[in-house]
Amino acid sequence: MKKLVRLFIAVLLVSFLLMFLVAKLNATEGYSSDHTLTVFNWGDYIDEELIAKFEKETGIKVIYETFDSNEAMLTKIQQGGTSYDVAVPSEYMIEKMREEDLLIPLDHSKLKNLKYIDPRFMDLPFDPGNRYSIPYFWGTVGIVYNPEILGDFEIKGWNDLWNPVLKNEILMVDGAREAMGIGLNSLHYSLNDTNKEHLLEAKEKLETLTPNIKAIVGDEIKILMANEEAAIGIVWSGDAADIMWENEKLDYVVPEEGSNLWFDNMVIPKTAKNVEGAHQFINFMLDPKNAAQNTDYVSYSTPNKEALNYLDEEVVNDKRFYPDEELTERLEVYENLGKKMLSYYNELYLEFKMHTK
Ligand code: SPD
């Protein structure tokens, strides 16, 4: 019995010692933080081979997590439970995060590959001088459609979506600003409208679209559209490109009433523990060959001018995904409308979603 007690005490002591050592290692500055990097990105938004390449080149282990909306990303960062080192929000959210002091200013001297970014994606109003953010991908919101299912019915704009021939034929991306944007644009209001009457009108109009909506979905919209489960998908342009690569019958249009032009940029949140590694990661993603590989994989449009040289000419000359000035003139970038107004957009979107169930 005594032997058993001694053994029990010894096991207990060894366990305490091990726990103490692990805690000490984690707390030691520069141990866990310098050797790991926690990256927070949209789902399906990186070629994972590049993560492996970065780990091999730097010896830094990447912990990779995903989110499906800017709002979900913000909540996780505000909660502070995970020390995200790099995140990839969109423009209006970057402005909001800057205002809320959630971002670390970038050290451009550590981003030698920044010179490869096309100047037209630099110094945009949401982040003057790119103090806090570096371009990752950009694109539009539009309609991917299956001409074979639609027959003679031609899709040119948002208002075509209300046609009864599209009963139960629309799949929609799950995004508050995207959905409210359809309502607003279809009424010829701005995507940044803050007039509550207009917003209510947009939500009510959107609710009348319900009979035509098959489902509101996430990244699975790509498989569903490619498998011809619906005639219409409201998507971000890169997803349309991916869908069309899988199923060549489909086409993509940016609606005539106007739409959204968006930018997803890399940032270093205040939660970061490995700021040095975060700069290394951003610089790695800016390398033209890596950026081209990533573009090839995710199908979104790259802001990296040099990377374009490594991509198929057919891809980079496709005006649907690399729109010219004429098209971009009728597009609007989402603005940070302030906490109250963004909550109002979300509230209306949730009401619309309830209505579709
Ligand atoms: N599957 C990755 C999708 C990322 C698209 N970001 C679009 C942001 C629009 N505000």
Residue 293 to residues 15, 43, 305, 312: CA-CA distances in angstroms?
46, 17, 14, 11
State residue 23's pLDDT score. 47
* Angle at 231 (CA atoms; ends 237, 173), nearest 5 degrees: 45
State residue 29's pLDDT score. 36
* Distance between CA atoms of residues 193 and 202, nearest Å: 10
Q: Which residues contact 86 (CB under 8 A, 6 or more apart)?
A: 37, 38, 39, 40, 41, 266, 267, 268, 272, 278, 281, 282
Distance 264 CA to ligand 1 centre (A): 7
Q: In the 8-state DSSP scheme, what is residue 117?
A: B
In the numeric block, the tokens 């009348």 are attached to: 208
Give the class (CATH, top level) of 139-261+324-356: alpha beta
State residue 17's pLDDT score. 58
- Residue 69 in 3-state DSSP? coil
For the chain, give every residue range classified as CATH 3.40.190.10: 2-137+263-316, 139-261+324-356
Cβ proximity of 183 and 260 under 8 Å: no
Which sign does the torsion angle of CA 263, 269, 272, 275 carry? Answer: positive
Residues in contact with ligand 1 by the CB-under-6-Å rule are 42-45, 90, 219, 236, 262, 264
Give the class (CATH, top level) of 2-137+263-316: alpha beta
Distance 112 CA to ligand 1 centre (A): 26
Of all protein residues, whose CA lies closest to atom 4 belonging to ligand 1? 42
- Residue 248 in 3-state DSSP? coil
The closest-lying atom of ligand 1 relative to the alpha carbon of residue 219 is 1
User: Would you mind telling me the total number of residues written for the chain in this entry?
Assistant: 357
For residue 241, which of 129, 316, 335, 326 has the smallest C-alpha distance? 316
- The whole-number mean pLDDT for each consecutive block of 10 residues of the chain, a chain of 357 residues, reads 58 59 43 82 98 98 97 95 96 96 98 97 97 98 97 96 97 95 97 98 98 96 98 97 97 96 98 97 98 98 98 95 90 95 96 91
* Distance between CA atoms of residues 266 and 257, nearest Å: 30
Distance 9 CA to ligand 1 centre (A): 55
